[in-house]
A and B are shown apart, each in its own frame.
Chain A
Amino acid sequence: MSLSSHTTKPDHATDDASSPQQLSPSRRDLLRRGAVAAGAAAVAWQPHRAQAQEPAPVAAMRSPNRVLTFAAAGEPELPPLEVIALNRIAFGPRPGDLASLMALGATSEARLQAYVEQQLNPAAIDDGACDALIAAQGFTTLGKSRQQLWADHVIKDKVSWDERMQPARETRAATFLRALHSKRQLVEVLAEFWHNHFNVYGWDSWSAGAWVHYDRDVLRGNLLGNFRTMLGDVAKSAAMLYYLDNVSNTSAGPNENYARELFELHTLGAEHYFGVASTVGPGGGYLHPAPKGPDGKPLQYVDEDIYSATQCFTGWRIHKDTGEFVFEDAVHAKYSKIVLDQNIPSGSGQQDGEQVLDLLANHPSTARYICRRLCRRLIADDPPETVVQAAADVFYAQRAAPDQLKQVVRTILLSSEFATIWGQKIKRPFDFTASLLRAANANFAWSDSFNWRYEAMGQAMFSWRPPDGYPDRKENWSSTMPMLQRWRACNWLLDGWKMGGDGADKDNPRIDCRGQMPATITTPVEIADYWIDRLLGRPMPAIERQAIIDFMAAGRNPTSSLTDKQIDEQLRLMVGLIFNAPSFQWR
């Protein structure tokens, strides 16, 4: 996809100005740092509506197909491209991020391209501040080698439960800190994606003890690299070998768990499952029943492929003393196999499994499946086929390239679909929490009480038991329980009593709203508009903005200055309302 497609795209700011719901006359004004949205002064004071009774219902709220259709009213406006970029390539903007992005070029398209290139080359980004922050935490496992992790946290004599869990716990805390502070935001976004794609439950003893290796070397080490390499590293990791039982997959007793999910979740995807069907043709010989691609090879898989692949992976195990991958020929199935119409001759040992990984990683259906999932994360729940196919073409063509995945991600981020689709997705709890703490410039430190609130939202880190990873569609995160817990977590984060807390509470995240707001901003309208701009980087729909102003005014004149006491009492709660508003949930 070339950037030139952006030149014909309607200007975001023009869109905004033409909408009666929007207040900002131009994106340039909107993005001028420190500026208060220009429409603010135009809002006339109105008598405050009675708060004793909640507003009357809106007739449209019970549209018959809430989950999968979009009502015209209330659909979010397309934000400026820079806001889209920071919400998808990063976990939302920190203070100053939008200004930095604006300085990267003369047009939105140029800025996006520069930002994407910057983020695709993380080694060139100075991340010293974040590194120092993590170094100050006193973690001891993040730098250990695979063997050292195994020795200290898995097989050590009388290793305690805490010691077993330590690598996973430190990785979890570091992941939060990086999401909040690392300048290599795309790496963090993709790390979350690949953890979800190659999901492993992190809190079992074999996985937790070696978790640093899985996170640091296997996933992060490959996320801008080559998919086949990553797939192989995953297949040979202790985390995956134990999680999907391949450690006990032997010739005498095959265990198909890994092979099945390798096909269904890691490579071809369930969308390319032909189902239970025989591979015996009418003449009694081998005949794969699935439709064939141009090369004559099956585009879909059947259960027989899984059973044969299971045989190919027999003997793929972990050396009990070192934690390293080991191939045990003694338990390997020696006879020849056929996988996806490809003959795998006898006597090839470890190469049997390697050939299966080659077949799958280099399969056009894998390209489509992986790219659909990437586009789902980076663009929309149901991404258009155009961008999925464009990315899949790159994935397939560059399958041997050492930077294959970098090229794929670039294709997606610079697509016209990336720039023109918004609001067909909401933030998951991790997106929500990270973006909230970033936007609020929270003085965040990991604590168990924070984690307790975080996990209540339903996306506990490294904790999804089934192998498919956390769902990445809006209907999974918009039923009453996730919605309520999201609001509750925000209420807790913005609750005033943690301000400057000490004692047992000293580790809780602290958000100093008053200190971040210029003293000259004193009226409800000014305060609301300052924080809306500050936290969202764009105007809010009028209905949301008015509710924020009404809350801050609490029956007083919204254009008259509030007292210090009034601001202190309500400001944090008002900021929390912006975080809990629909506008902050879109992605």
Chain B
Amino acid sequence: MFKTTRRGFMIGCSSAIAAWSGGLNFTAFGSAADEPNQDIVIVVFLRGGMDGINVVPPIAGADRGHYEAKRARIAVPLSGQNAALPLDDRFGLHPGAAALHGLYQQKLLAFVHAAGLTSDTRSHFDAMQYMELGTPDSKASSKGWLTRHLETAPGAPAQVIMPAVAVGNQQPTSLLGSQESIGMTSPNDFNFGGHWKYGDAQRIALRSMYGGGSWLHAAGVQTLDAIGVVEAANPGAYTPGNGAVYPNSGFGRNLQTVAQVIKMQLGLRAATIDLGGWDTHEYQGDSGAGYFSDKLNELGKGIEALFVDLSNDNGACHTNRLTVVVMSEFGRSFQENASRGTDHGHGNVMIVAGGAVNGGKVYGNWPGLATDALYDRRDLAITTDYRQVLSEILINRLGNPNIDQIFPGYSGYTPLGIMQAAGTTPICVPVSPGEPTPTPMPTLNQRVYLPSVRR
């Protein structure tokens, strides 16, 4: 279990602070030799049900025929300006995600197809809760799977200032019940905003008032601690490194916050970011273009920028200890609907990127798209439980083998081979900025005529 030093820091008696005062240094929180779990996981949750079949569509064989028949208008074509980018001899990548293709070719990124939550539900809200609690078919847990990871990680350093950050306004369910995570949008804005003269006295009063024992009091103290940590680190305005260009969107800014926190060397181990807008019931975009393409572009450009930014931080290769996992609550119906969109489905694609990923490959046991092979004769079936992918990251890279505690009731884990083994140090792959094309964001005009494309 991670032991935060935020409290110790606040009252100025922690040894970690001595290390701090001499300049921020990651080794203050343990060295590679005596600490097995310096790796960082960034969980990107795509809210609304991402259309995985169109992210990684079939490009050959009978499934290509099924695909073009069922998705006459929205199918990603094989030729022309918006042709699918080849991944292997079976699958291509949506051209909107071209930025991810570069990482794939550098073997920093892999896909797991026909993955997801096996629960029999097509409800956004049920599916998200099951997935993020890590307990399919049950909402009884008061803690998310990342919370349980942070609590059960063995051999964690004695002192970590900021082990987890939830970037955004809302803390996701995966961090439910976590007392060590900090929710924030940007470190620059994460300050108390108190009175110029009485600001300290205001905070002292708040700390007194929130000194009781209820959950609300604990939440107040946690917030005061977090303010203290972030303010002490004095983050300032952030300039991405290596010419990285993040999308000019909330998602792009949230990714920058993660990069900034990683570079602040506060011992970050886990971060969560949400990206909404995937509930594409209507006009998701024909023939590899349109709204869905723009959305993928935002996702891809964002992840690419993160790798550009972090692959060389004054010589430090943060991407080597970074694993980004992209998931969504379910995929979408195989058959497109009359509104040129797709409805709630089942199986999906997961994206895993990082220095320790055995990238450049599409993983998973492909069930096929013939009607008899579909889940409920309707949706892509699931052959890889999402927990299998997360477990491999947890065991191989995050130093936490306590899968039975993180995912209670989950059994039969076998590795896909998507992550390099524990203890191996990946070769650092420098990532340079891709095509300097601006990120097309949905314009005002598009919003006017696409009222329904939303989470």
Contact = CB atoms under 8 A, between A and B. Distances in A.
A491 interface: yes
A551 B216 CA distance: 21
Contacts of A253: 337-339
Interface in B219-256: 219-223, 226-227
B192 A481 contact: no
Contact of A491 (B12, B194, B282): B194
Interface string B267-297: 0000000001101011000000000000000
B87 interface: no
B313 interface: no
Nearest to A303: B122
A76 B214 contact: yes
A573 B449 CA distance: 47
A551 B214 contact: no
A62 B179 contact: yes
Listed residue (B122, B124, B198, B451) with the most chain A CB atoms within 10 angstroms of its CB: B451
Interface in B300-353: 337-339, 341, 343-344
Contacts of B115: none
Contacts of A242: 451-452
B11 A54 contact: yes
A546 interface: yes
B240 to A, nearest CB: 23
A66 interface: yes
Interface in B188-206: 190, 192-195, 197-198, 200-206
Contacts of B338: 248-250, 252-255
Interface string A471-490: 10011101111111101100
B205 A577 contact: yes
Interface string B172-191: 00001101011111000010
Contacts of B455: 465-466
A551 B202 contact: yes
Interface in B340-395: 341, 343-344, 375-376
Contacts of B190: 484
B66 interface: no
B423 interface: no
A417 to B, nearest CB: 20
Interface in A242-282: 242-245, 248-250, 252-257, 260, 264, 270, 273, 275-277
B177 A68 contact: yes
A426 B206 CA distance: 17
Contacts of A479: 166, 170-171, 181, 183, 219
A11 interface: no
Contacts of B375: 276
A581 B211 CA distance: 11
Nearest to A71: B213
Interface centre among B10, B126, B226, B452 (most CB of A within 10 A): B452
A582 B206 CA distance: 9
A88 to B, nearest CB: 17
Given A54-B11, A57-B7, A479-B166, A577 B206 contact: yes
B125 to A, nearest CB: 6
Given A55-B208, A74-B213, A484-B223, A273 B166 contact: no
Contacts of A273: 121, 123, 126
Nearest to B212: A74
Contacts of B204: 51, 54-55, 547, 551
Contacts of A46: none
Interface in A530-554: 541, 543-544, 546-548, 550-551, 554
Nearest to B208: A547
B211 A426 contact: no
A449 B213 CA distance: 36
Interface stretch (A101-109, A171-179, A202-210, A219-227): A202-210
B216 A61 contact: no
B444 interface: yes
B33 interface: no
Given A55-B211, A250-B338, A543-B208, A481 B169 contact: yes
A45 interface: no
Contacts, number: 270
B90 interface: no
A44 interface: no
A546 B208 contact: yes
Given A51-B200, A491-B193, A458 B214 contact: no
Nearest to B225: A480
A161 interface: yes
A554 B208 CA distance: 14
A335 interface: no
B216 A244 contact: no
B107 to A, nearest CB: 36
Contacts of B404: none
B374 to A, nearest CB: 12
Contact of B201 (A53, A76, A551): A551
Interface in B417-448: 444, 447-448
A139 interface: no
Contact of A53 (B7, B11, B121, B177): B11
A504 interface: no
Most buried by A among B142, B168, B176, B223: B223
Given A60-B213, A491-B194, A585-B216, A54 B221 contact: no
Contact of A66 (B202, B203, B219): B219
Given A65-B142, A483-B219, A56 B205 contact: no
Contacts of B142: 65, 67-69
Contacts of A73: 212-214
A68 B142 CA distance: 6
B125 A264 contact: yes
B170 A476 contact: yes
Contact of B48 (A58, A466, A543, A576): A466
Contact of B120 (A205, A277, A483): A277
Nearest to A555: B201
Contacts of A570: 198
A132 interface: no
Contact of A69 (B183, B215, B341): B215
A544 B211 CA distance: 9
B184 A548 contact: no
A264 B142 CA distance: 23
B217 interface: yes
B218 interface: yes
B409 to A, nearest CB: 17
B339 A582 contact: no
A580 interface: yes
A18 B164 CA distance: 43
A353 to B, nearest CB: 17
Contacts of B177: 65-68, 475
B47 to A, nearest CB: 7
Given A67-B142, A255-B282, 14 more contacts: A51-B201, A54-B203, A54-B204, A61-B211, A61-B213, A65-B177, A248-B339, A276-B375, A474-B216, A475-B171, A482-B183, A483-B220, A487-B193, A582-B217
